[in-house]
A = this chain, B = another copy of it.
Amino acid sequence: MIKTIFNHRSIRKFKPEPIPGEILQEILLAGTRASTTGNMQAYSMIVTSDFSLKEKLWEAHFKQDMVKHAPVIVTFCADFNRFNKWCTLNKAFPGYDNFLSFMAAAIDAILVAQNVALAAEDHGLGICYLGTTTYNAEKIIEILQIPKGVVPITAFPIGYPDETPGLTDRLSLNAVVHYEKYNDYFDDVIKKLYEEKENMSFYKDLLKINKKETLSQVFTDIRYTKKDNVFFSKSFLNVLKNQGFMNNEI
């Protein structure tokens, strides 16, 4: 188990081989063993393998090729639609059209996703999380005909890896762990924590390619810009409203 966790790499190139049905079933079932708020299971998994749908999802996911080439894309959604329907059919009045319920359902969906990811990797399959799911949730909702009460949170392709990338760098454990309370960072501590990363040849090359002075600027000016973040924030908040999760707020 721990081995599988420590061996995780994001896989972006897949063999065309399909995933055997019983393996896919076991992986999805592993998802359902995750804890969820009140055991309400306020999530859904959408398993897409149809090529024309994958092509549309590929567009929504900023044309990342793995979305087209992997045999299967799984989209993990926060889902109160099913639970709301069950309540309404049973003389109960669901009060899950608000931001807290969205967060609870989103947490459910992400825990399920990580179980599915690890179960897949345990079977020699590879995955790569698609952050573009929240960016383009509106388009994904349209493509996958997702109803009110449901919001896509994350997604990944699953397939047999056609590449063997090395482990990705991480900050040292003391950069991300605090004991007892949060210990805020002094400037010199921050410098030390990021020093190793800044000195890696991978990131030095990234600087050159992007013609930036510092690695931080590659993130703020190119990869994750304020302009994009603000644009997609508005669009994702709109999705929450349209899908019925902000009805009691503001």
A interface residues (Cβ-Cβ under 8 A, vs B): 1-6, 8, 10, 25-26, 28-35, 37-41, 43-50, 53, 77, 79, 81-83, 85-87, 89-96, 98-101, 103-104, 106-107, 110-111, 113-115, 118-119, 121-123, 128-129, 131, 134-135, 143-147, 150, 153-154, 168-171, 173, 175-182, 184-185, 187, 190-191, 193-194, 213-217, 219-221, 223-227, 229-230, 232-234, 236-237, 248-249
**Counting chain B CB atoms within 10 Å of each CB, which of A3, A5, A119, A179 scores highest?**
A5
Closest Cβ of chain B to A10, distance in Å, is 6
Are B233 and A190 in contact, CB atoms less than 8 angstroms apart?
no
Are A35 and B10 in contact, CB atoms less than 8 angstroms apart?
yes
CA distance A5 to B115 in the complex (A): 7
**Counting chain B CB atoms within 10 Å of each CB, which of A47, A150, A226 scores highest?**
A226
CA distance A221 to B232 in the complex (A): 36
Are B2 and A119 in contact, CB atoms less than 8 angstroms apart?
yes
Supply 12 further A-B pairs (C-beta < 8 A) apart from A89-B216, A111-B114. Answer: A28-B173, A32-B171, A32-B173, A39-B170, A41-B171, A45-B176, A47-B179, A81-B184, A89-B190, A90-B216, A92-B219, A100-B230
CA distance A131 to B118 in the complex (A): 23
Contact of A223 among B38, B99, B169, B224 (CB under 8 A): B38
CA distance A219 to B82 in the complex (A): 14
CA distance A32 to B176 in the complex (A): 8
Closest Cβ of chain B to A15, distance in Å, is 21
With A8-B33, A87-B220 as contacts: A1 and B122 at CB distance below 8 Å: yes
Are B177 and A107 in contact, CB atoms less than 8 angstroms apart?
no
CA distance A179 to B39 in the complex (A): 23
